[in-house]
Amino acid sequence: VTLLVAVSGWEPEAWAKRLRRLMPGRTVLTTDGQGLFEGDDAALAEVRYALVWKPRPEVLERLPQLEVIFSLGAGVDHILGLPQLPDVPVVRIVDPDLTGRMVEYVVWQVLHHHRRGPEYARQQSERQWRERRQPAAHEVTIGIMGLGVLGQAAAVALGRLGFRLAGWSRSEKQLPDMACFHGTEGLAPFLGQTDILVALLPLTPETSGILNYKLFAQMKREGPLGGPVVINAGRGGSQVEADIVAALEDGKLKGASLDVFETEPLPPDSPLWSRPEVVITPHNAAVSDPEALTRQIAGQIAAYERGAPLKNLVDTARGY
């Protein structure tokens, strides 16, 4: 049984080495999105499992025995957007290691804006000692867009810190200590009570460009932080960066933390780089760690071969 690790922008050997250790007796092939087994169709014909992150479009088309595609990330837009997707199950990452990293990122960025990080950074650069009013956590509502694995885990951590919570999802939900909204009708009332928006949405046709000027204009205006803040660690395709800049310019937004971008890496001429009220990180809110995640994938393959159903299956029609 052969596995193929097909990634671009990542080092495939880091994954392959660990898989060979965890699954002795298997052949593990790799491609990094550059060379692609030119002429080696015999080796590719043996591949039953493909582990992918932004694979080159033609890679998966050359695997006649493919049984399962494993996304090496929690998001699957990099797979579902391929022009010829083989008709096999797609499994995504749900893992405490990745979830824990995302919770850290969200808590870090919420606290940065809540504790007036951008203002104190500016004061420090001007050697200015000036105390600003600090609202208590319970005065601030964090609105979480996307109440899936990551959104719910972030909510639990923020709730422990005492923040008020609102959440928005596609389907109706009832979650403890949270005002839950859903669907198009639920969006305006959700935004109307949100001081800090945390977007943890998958990229689908419905969520593409959803973080736009019209949405920012519906957020709570007279909040304790002096203006709404947006944090996006879902996908860059969900945000309209020109609208974020326009909203920061005219005060519809007070600050932003962005881990994902319309174009990655964020181009050097983006106006976002030079704004002190914007925190930019290079799509690493929750990196996929080969050590943690290969263990999970090897376990899934072993269970699948014993006849157990695959876990964390993607609904390809729904898009996540």
Active site residue 92: no
Q: Which is nearer to ligand NDP, 151 or 290 (CB)?
A: 151
Nearest to ligand NDP of 170, 254 (CB atom)? 170
79 is an interface residue for ligand NDP by CB under 6 A:
no
Kind of pairing, strands 179-182 and 196-199? unpaired
Q: Which of 288, 294, 296, 300 binds ligand OXD (CB under 6 A)?
A: 288
Compute CA distances 151 → 63, 252, 319, whole Å: 35, 24, 17
Calculate helix-pair angle for 96-114, 149-160, nearest 10 degrees. Answer: 50
The secondary element (H helix, E strand) that includes residue 50 is: strand 47-53
Q: Where are the beta strands (DSSP E) in 54-158?
A: 68-71, 90-91, 141-145
User: Any residues with CB less than 8 A from the CB of 15 and at least 6 apart, and which?
Assistant: 5, 7, 30, 51, 72, 290, 294
Q: Report if residue 237 touches ligand NDP, rule: CB under 6 A.
A: no
Binders in 173-232 for ligand NDP, by CB under 6 A:
200-204, 206-207
- Is 73 near ligand OXD (CB under 6 A)? yes
Instruction: Give least dist CB 101 to ligand OXD, A.
Output: 9
Q: Write out the H or E segment, with its range, that includes residue 276.
A: none
Q: Is 75 in the site for ligand OXD (CB under 6 A)?
A: yes
Residue 290 binds ligand OXD (CB under 6 A): no
In angstroms, the CA 289 to CA 86 distance is 26
Integer Cα distance of 19 and 180 in angstroms: 41
User: Pick the catalytic residue: 283, 295, 306, 318?
Assistant: 283
Of the candidates 78, 138, 235, 295, the residue annotated as catalytic is 235
Among the listed residues 19, 66, 106, 147, the single contact to ligand NDP using CB under 6 A = 147
Alpha-carbon gap, residue 261 to 281, rounded angstroms: 10
Q: Which residue is nearest to ligand NDP (CB)?
A: 148
Binding site for ligand NDP (CB under 6 A): 73-75, 102, 146-151, 168-171, 200-204, 206-207, 233-235, 259-260, 283, 285-286, 320
Active site residues: 235, 283
Binding site for ligand OXD (CB under 6 A): 73-75, 93, 286, 288
